[in-house]
Amino acid sequence: MKKLILSLVALLATATMSAQKMLVLYYSETGTTKTVAQELQKQLIADIESIECVTPYTGNFQETIQRGQREMQSKEWPALKPLTKKIADYDVVFLGYPIWFGTYANPIYTLLNEQDFSGKTVVPFCTFGTSGLETSTDALRKALPKATVVDGFGLRKARIAEAEKEVGQFLKTKKYKKD
Ligand SMILES: Cc1cc2nc3c(=O)[nH]c(=O)nc-3n(C[C@H](O)[C@H](O)[C@H](O)COP(=O)(O)O)c2cc1C
């Protein structure tokens, strides 16, 4: 009887885990973070949505540096197109962005101001030239005190060809997927 109850509890726990609704939500200017986002979506079999600016950045490095700095100084963050998915419908949000100026890219500031992440588990993921996962994760924890921001995943742009393997390894280590 005790064994039966234990198996039932285990079964229920597994069912609850797999019932977690997951969304991969990301911003990508030049496609690097998009590659990681698509890999996460594929391996998790999650929903996916990209964050789009009303006035897109041009994809030109110098122009984005200049516009980005202007926005940072004035704190006038870029307007976003409405999301088609509702954050409220999900338990876990994988939130992706490129690192800009040492932290998450400017469109994420707008997103955090507009959306309610209370009670959600947020898994940060990012791509960068050199680094930025830790700094941006700390910034997310400060910006989202009512969410649980867990340790996330970062990949250097120069290693983007390793995305499939690295994402798989991350998801396995953190037990988001079994094999
Ligand atoms: C405005 C701007 C600022 C950046 N700042 C940083 C930085 O502080 N540290 C870093 O490692 N990479 C930085 N990068 C490089 C990007 O994080 C990197 O190229 C990223 O993979 C681009 O992702 P995407 O293709 O998804 O837009 C910056 C790039 C831009 C355009």
Q: Give tens-digit pLDDT for 84-130.
A: 999 999 999 999 999 999 999 999 999 999 999 999 999 999 999 99
Computed on alpha carbons and rounded to an integer, the radius of gyration of the chain in Å comes to 18
Q: How much is the mean pLDDT over the chain? A: 94
In CATH terms, 21-173 corresponds, of 3.40.50.360, 3.40.50.2300, 1.20.140.10, 3.40.630.30, to 3.40.50.360
Which atom belonging to ligand 1 lies closest to the Cα atom of 157? 21
Report the candidate in 15, 177, 40, 165 with the shortest Cα–Cα distance to residue 96.
40
Sequence ranges of the domains in the chain: 21-173
Q: Which has more confidence, 113 or 1? A: 113
Pocket test for ligand 1, best of 25, 52, 100, 134 (most atoms within 8 A of CB): 100
d(CA 35, CA 37): 5
Q: What is the per-residue pLDDT across 18-43, written as a single tens digit (0 to 9) for each?
A: 579 999 999 999 999 999 999 999 99
How many angstroms separate the alpha carbon of residue 28 from the centre of ligand 1? 10
